Structure 1
Amino acid sequence: MTTDRSDLTARVLPQISLGDGSPGSLTAPPLPLPRESPAARAQERFHITGNAIVTGGAGDLGFAACNALLEHGLEGLMIFDMNPAEAQARVKALETEFPGAKIRFLKVDVTDEDGVNAAVDETVKLLGSVSILLSFAGMVACGHALDWSAKDWNRVVNVNTIGGFLVARAIARTMIERGIRGSMVFIASISGHRVNFPQPQVSYNVSKAGVVAMVKSLAGEWAKYGIRVNRVTDNFLVKLFKGVAAPETCFRLQNPSPKKKLLTFVVVNTILNEGDGLDEARKMWASRNPMGRMGEPDELSGAIVTLASRAGSYINGSDILVDGGQTLFM
């Protein structure tokens, strides 16, 4: 899709087309809410139908979101994650809580284009059409900018931007083929809006800023198909459990050296994790937050349910900040 320099003057630019909102179209307004009772209208406003894919759904934030979707009526759920043991445990817990729903897991590397396409196709075979995507899978890396190699940089960007795009594209294709509306929610970060402090993490910040731009671009391009694309910016601290896979994997660059080796992977659920080595940073993060604390996993669920339900039917290309006001004082 790239154009050689010699062909630039002869190229014809593709153009984005918009929806027209006409009755019966994929961009038409939703049908009126039921009139039988206020309670029925309230319930229908946040009712969720259909099937969802949640990448990184085995981590605490992803798992809380899965619970919330199922509580509001989700019929089928597929978790994409890289840790089968933890994901299967999560699936079992959800199946016990929601016996009427179809809940499955697939091991998926979101940077593997063919693997992603195959996993989405398999999901459609197992569950039926997918109309909801929650994109939690990600990677954060901390290290001084002078120590970064191209390989390490690409690793972070590939997971956070390319990986998120590959899953969204594969799902969008199935939705467009079937002519169904849907909602996609990307989990961004305050680091995509401001330079977080005190940790140096330029590749992560750039990748999350890329997610911000990607959401806007996809929202504009796919709206005509009835696909809304939004993001939720979080600022969450959750517990680290040894051996538990999570939506975001963190690594730090080793002390500056010609080889720039990486430390052993530290598995976390967000950009923030627990441990004595981060005690000073955690205190600093909390001290800059108007609420004096980091968020709890379920505090993200309200925004996600809104975006996935009728309540968010006119929200597209938006960023919902769920950060306790952290970005006020970055």
Structure 2
Amino acid sequence: MRITTLCMSTTVQRTAVFDRINMEEVNRSIHYRLDASGKAVNAARVLNQLEEHCAFLICPAGMENMDEFVMLAKADGFEASIIPVPGRVRECCTLLEKETGRVTELVMDEPACTAEKDKELIAKAEKRLRNELQKALKKSDALLFAGTTPKIWPEDFKVRVCKSACDAGVVLLVDFWGKELLSVLEVCTPDIIKINAKEFCGTFCKTEIADTEKLIRAVADKSRELNNCIVITRGGDSTIGAFRGKTYEAPTERVQAVNTIGCGDSFSSGFLYEYLKTRAANSDEPDIESALAKGTWCAARNAECEKVGTLYE
């Protein structure tokens, strides 16, 4: 199996562990770790743990500190095309509190590039990225495209990427929402839309739907309308899936959580992997129940680890 993952918000993840965090005091960590991250980076790591060399990662990286990201990516054994762009790789800091089990993530977005020379470099980087993607799609069974796209890239970037994947005939899983997703749907339909309940309601509904049965009906209706698969994760609550209008619901696995950051990305990897596997074995008809179970298992294993986006430390 071969899956291309595309991450436009490449990240250096700093995970710091504390006994307890006191907001009005100096807090010293017990230890901390550095990892290559970003939604599709996390997904690629999990895919490679499910099947060696399964994932091929494409991502831009800010030239000012890209050496650090490249070093971390190499340590994880990524097969990747990392494309230099102006600016910095963004940093995220995960804070884990052992005493309470609480976790939070601080995201420091990369600054926008406004100089004319930067714009020229970004245009060249975009051309290279799209060429790399076209080559990768020819060898891939699927494209997993997840996360935000920084404002340095053209507004229609996601639309053109998704259209390329659909035209190439590969399975397309997207994990983004709102205007970006609606813009894509005006041009093409991803095979799988994986978002959380708040994102689904924010994209397709006028108000948030708190009632599970109403949410299931709404997801089923949208899946039937789009003739695709929609998967809605809900944290510790059951996961809702719909495939061409047929609905599914899968319970989450209860674990002693260490770090829940990256659980959604790990779920996406497991779901897509099993979706492709069962689809190939069953005349292009995926087994959604098995895919939900695999995604749930991957998310649970990630929650048990300090490292973000992984099945094991």
> Larger relative contact order (C-alpha < 8 A, sep ≥ 6)?
1
Return the structure number with greater helix share: 1
**TM class by smaller structure:** under 0.3
Question: Could you say which structure has the larger radius of gyration?
Answer: 1
Give the TM-score normalised by structure 1: 0.27
